[in-house]
Structure 1
Amino acid sequence: MGPLETNGYLVHLNGAAVAVDPGGAPRPMLQYAEKNGLALTHILITHLHFDHIYGAAALAEASGAPVLAGGADAFLMETELGRGGAFGFPRVAPFSYQPVEEGDLDLGTIACRALATPGHTPGSLSFHFPQAGAVIVGDLLFHRSIGRTDFPGGDLDALRRSVVQKIFTLPDDTVVYPGHGPETTVGAEKLNNPYFTEFSL
C-alpha cells in the first residue's frame, strides 16, 4: 500500500478483524472486509513512519476503529518522517491514537500480544498473533535483512536485541510478516540472516 509499497495486513477471526499498518488509501482493506463480512475493531501501527500510517486517518474514520501505536514514537509526528512531506511525498492526514505498551491487547476474539521492539524507532512494536502462528514486525526485521537505524531515534544495538530477545524466542515456525517485502519465518532468519550469524553456529 502507498508510495513505498508498505505491507498492510488484515488479521481476522470469527467475523472480527484488525488492520495493521495501513500505509496507503485503505480502500483494499475496506473492500476485503465488506466482501467477507468482517467488522474492523482496531487499527494497529508498528511504528509512526509516514509510509506505515498514510491510511490510518481514513480507515479510522470509515470504520470507527481506534488506532493503537507505541507512545515512544510520538516525537516522530513532529518530523517529516512521521507527518510526511519530504522528497515530494504527500503529508499524512492527522489522526489520534492510543499509546500502547508491551503486553496482551484486548482485541476481543483475536489474541494478540504487543512486543516492544525498539531499534528502527524507539516506539516500534511487533504484534504476535499466536492463533495464527504469526508476528507482524514492521521495519524491525526483513527477509535476510533488518530495518534501517540511521533515522532519528534509530539504534542498531537496540534493534539486534529486540530481534534476539523478542522475535527469535518465538517458535521457529512462526511466520514473520515484515513492513516491506516477502514473509519469512523465525527459524529461517535465525539460520540465514547475515545480521545474526551466531544463530547458525
Structure 2
Amino acid sequence: MDRFYDKEEAAQAIKLLIKERCGKDAKHLSRIPKDPDVLDGVSVEKDDAENIWKLVFTATGVIIAQDLPPVARESRISKDEIRFLSQYVRISGMGSIAFEDTIIALKGIQQLGEREFQEGDLEEWTQFTVQGHNVIEFSNQYFTPCSQAINGDSVRFPMDVNPNGVPQKMAGMQWIHAEDNEV
C-alpha cells in the first residue's frame, strides 16, 4: 500500500471479485452479513483426541504484507523470542465496501465463539487498519512449547517450508512443530 497503487481501482476490482466468489462459495465471509443463514449450520465441536477446533471460511482482498516460508536462514533472535516466530498474511479491501462485509462477518464469528468457548480458550481477533483501510491478518506460530503439546508428537516441517532444516535447529529441546502449527 504505497503511492504506486490506484486504491480506488483496487477497491473496485475487489468488489467484483467478492461478488463473483460469493456466488460460488457458500462459506465466503462477505456473504454472512447479507445471508445470516450461512452461520445456521455452524457449530463448534471439540475433537477430544486432538483438542482442536476449526472453522474454515474464505475471504477476498489484496495482500498488503506477508512473511511466509521458506525459512532459509536462521534469524538473529534470542532463545526466548523463538515462541514468537510465525508466518502471516495481511489482506485489505483497499476501502471496498464489499470487504467491510468480511469485517462484519468476522466480528459476528468472534461473538459466536465468545458464547461457545470458555473465557481464555479463544484467541481474540483484533481488527486493525493500515493507511485508513481495514486489514485482516491470518497467522500461525511455528512452534509450541513441548510442555503444552497435547501428546508430545512433533510433525516434520514440509520441505517447501524448511529446505535447510533451519527451524528445527532454532527450536532446540524446548519447542516442537506440532500439528496445530501447520497451515
Structure of larger gyration radius? 2
Q: Is the TM value for this pair above 0.5?
A: no
Smaller-chain TM-score bracket: under 0.3
State the structure with bigger RCO (CA 8 A, min sep 6), 1 or 2.
Answer: 2
Could you state the TM-score of these two structures normalised by the residue count of structure 2?
0.26
| Greater fraction strand | 1
Could you state the TM-score of these two structures normalised by the residue count of structure 1?
0.25
